[in-house]
Chains A and B, each alone.
Chain A
Amino acid sequence: MPNIYQPNLMTIKKVINETPDTKTFHLVFQDEELQENFEFETGQFGEYSCFGAGESTFCIASSPTRKGHIECCFRKTGKVTNALFELSEGDTIGFRGPFGNTFPIEEWEGKNVIFVGGGIALPPLRSVIWNLLDLRDKYKDISIVYGARSVADLVYKQEIAEWEARDDVNMVKTVDPGGETDDWDGYVGFVPHILENDFKPDPENTVVVVCGPPIMIKFTFEALERLGFKQDQLITTLENRMKCGLGKCGRCNIGSTYVCIDGPVFKAAEIDLLPPEY
């Protein structure tokens, strides 16, 4: 058995250019037995390697209900993501995981679920969105509120169109002021503002899952609380910097809570008990 830091090898089966600086990879394990038996739950993350550059942390962006491959989606920002960005179909990457906790989707059965995402934070939501859509009967209304800085920065454009076309999904899309194009048919405005003033969800029997940068999470929670949502109805994921994913390297902790072990999924009520280091 290799040590816990040694990744499994995966082949990039498909590359999708989401935006000028964001890509999706479809990945399969090179070890057939592992490919056959690999399981994860929605919300979990992995450590993805480009050998020679290092390792980076992203969620698993595909749904556990869709077997055959896993997906990740990343924006090029640092050394590793820049190196991954250069890879193409057929190339090998490393993967360690799945790590972390999961979205409590059983708890949401029989409820309305609203997904609120900003920018590159749609991938973690996409996993759970498809998970719920594949178990559509168990849930009531499903809404997706997604915004990005500009039209060019929206990821999963094809799937957004797919969700818009479905009559069992309420798709709300927005771009920040100035980020719209002439043919943009969504809202213009920041996500928390659109949520509070245009979408105005009813808190009754509803949970909201928010993913985005820390500042967006803060404002979105505040907007939702003004709409009457209680803390136990609000869920998010935190993305502190990580290296090991195993609770050992010591950098993702928020007080005594390790995002890699105890997270990345948190309820607003849980976050309220944490020191403000996220």
Chain B
Amino acid sequence: MIEQIREKARELLESGELDVVIGYAEGSDPTRTTPIFCRKPEDTDKLVLDGRCVNTLPAYLNKRHEYPKKGWKKTGIIGKGCDIRAITQLIAENQLKRDEVYIFGAECEGVVAHPEKWDGSLHEGNCASKCSACDVKIPLDTDFYPGEKPEVDRSGPYMVSAPALATLVKMDDEDRFAFWRDDFDRCFKCYACREVCPHCSCNICITDRTMPSWVDQAAHTKGVFGWHLTRAMHLVGRCTGCGECTRACPVNIQVDLFNQKMKEVIQESFDYKSGYSMEVKPPLITYNTDDQETYIR
């Protein structure tokens, strides 16, 4: 599978059709892979694709990062199904044009929840929970797919998958608040959750704004709650559920639980699944005269 992708990537770099191919290479220890930017055809020999490829590479396509500013005409990117969902959403939000990217996709068997859990293979005990209810193992939209791409019915609802969410929802308000307060005590606001997110697109994040200051910048209880709740709200109807914010958190705060909960809410209220259409806009950034709420009409 990866051999075919390597071959195609090499061909497109050689022909000059692509300026770069963003993919995964072996990392600095056997449990990890790392993002690689292939510019030369021979760089494609380094590409790998397996259960350790956790990064959501479309984060690099986000205009906030430096890559899109390089002036490249066309970027090749290797995507798992969930990554391609992120690309789809970026296009739906006018953050990216479809013809700026060339998508290499392949069937995904899931990824490890965290490199720390990699023991040489992917299994029930270490596979990320997002993979358990995944309906894009055969990815949606690809420019290159090794072999024949089977048709998949994705008309069903997006299945929220983290078992931890059910545990949290069952708690009463006080316990749930205590849970987050204790977990957030570890947060030092490194913003790894923000930086790995393909959808955090603001040029200047609201937490970095000082005139006025909307969110306390310090990592005390108020500042940390302020950040995570604001972040969760800003991603409502936009988060495509890659779970990188949780995976990237250096102190294991499962921040994507907020996003997963909001995903349920947005699905029930608007029948909207983010990342499945390049045309349909997220409900909270559009105005609809048929809205069920009278105050907005």
* Interface residue ranges, A against B (CB under 8 Å): 78-79, 82
Contacts and interface: CB of A to CB of B under 8 A. Distances in A.
Contacts of A79: 210-211, 213
Contacts of A82: 211
A101 to B, nearest CB: 30
Contacts of B213: 79
A82 B210 CA distance: 11
A79 B213 CA distance: 9
Contacts of B211: 78-79, 82
A78 B213 CA distance: 12
B211 to A, nearest CB: 5
A141 to B, nearest CB: 45
Nearest to B211: A79
A9 B210 CA distance: 24
6 contacts: A78-B210, A78-B211, A79-B210, A79-B211, A79-B213, A82-B211
A78 B210 CA distance: 8
B218 to A, nearest CB: 13
A21 to B, nearest CB: 15
Interface of B: 210-211, 213
Secondary structure type dominating chain B contacts: loop
Nearest to B209: A79
Name the 3 nearest CB pairs between A and B, nearest first: A79-B210, A79-B211, A82-B211
A77 to B, nearest CB: 10
Contacts of A78: 210-211
A82 B212 CA distance: 11
A19 B213 CA distance: 27
B204 to A, nearest CB: 13
Nearest to B210: A79
A82 B213 CA distance: 14
B1 to A, nearest CB: 45
A57 B239 CA distance: 40
A259 B211 CA distance: 26
Nearest to A83: B211
Contacts of B210: 78-79
B162 to A, nearest CB: 38
A42 B138 CA distance: 70
A165 B211 CA distance: 43
A82 B211 CA distance: 9
A125 B29 CA distance: 55
Nearest to A80: B210
A79 B211 CA distance: 6
Nearest to B212: A79
A76 to B, nearest CB: 11
A98 to B, nearest CB: 26
Nearest to A54: B210
A78 B209 CA distance: 11
A185 B211 CA distance: 39
A228 to B, nearest CB: 41
B216 to A, nearest CB: 13
A78 B212 CA distance: 10
A104 to B, nearest CB: 36
B190 to A, nearest CB: 16
B207 to A, nearest CB: 14
B215 to A, nearest CB: 14
A32 B211 CA distance: 35
A78 B211 CA distance: 8
A221 to B, nearest CB: 30
A70 B84 CA distance: 61
A78 B208 CA distance: 13
A50 to B, nearest CB: 13
B217 to A, nearest CB: 11
A261 B213 CA distance: 30
Nearest to A82: B211
A170 to B, nearest CB: 41
A249 to B, nearest CB: 14
A51 to B, nearest CB: 15
A244 to B, nearest CB: 15
